[in-house]
Amino acid sequence: MLRENRLYQADWLMRFYGFEVTELVSPTHPNLDADVDPKLGWALRNLDQFPVDVNTADARMLARIPGIGMKSVHKIVQARKFRKLRWEHLKAMGIAGNRARYFLVCGSRDFPAQDLTAAQIKGRIMKTSESKYRGTYGPQLSLFESQSLALS
């Protein structure tokens, strides 16, 4: 079930967010991360591209920030024509601050930029995550396990 969900998320990112398959999986990362969604996994592997200034970044880069969906990207692009955006504006737009805060900066001091490693960011997000999959499923069965296991 979890693998199916991750594949669906990866497909969605490629179709609607402009990701390439080689950005989501590669020879060095041949599998999707089971702990986090593919977009967050990509962001954690590409910390050199962050933080992104929400008031100046192009729509393509805004769409790559975990916690920001395409509807929010369009809202941000429209709203920043009229004012400099701060966290309270982003929150009102539906941005998931618990994820996005590690990958963007804006005209606010609510979430100051921090120099964190990918493992630290992942740990903090997982700690506050309300994932319906975390801790729900045990190890998945292989289709290629020995017949003796299937018969028992």
Instruction: Write out pLDDT tens, residues 47-105.
Output: 999 999 999 999 999 999 999 999 999 999 999 999 999 999 999 999 998 899 999 99
118 backbone dihedrals φ, ψ, rounded to 5°: -60, -40
Residue 150 reports pLDDT greater than 50:
no
What's the average model confidence in pLDDT over 32-37?
92
What digits encode the pLDDT tens for the residues 111-142?
666 789 999 999 999 887 665 445 444 444 44
Output DSSP code: residue 63.
T
Identify whether the C-beta of residue 134 lies closer than 8 Å to the C-beta of residue 126. yes
6: Cβ contacts below 8 Å, ≥ 6 apart: 32, 33, 34, 37, 38
Q: Which tokens is 96 given?
A: 């998931």
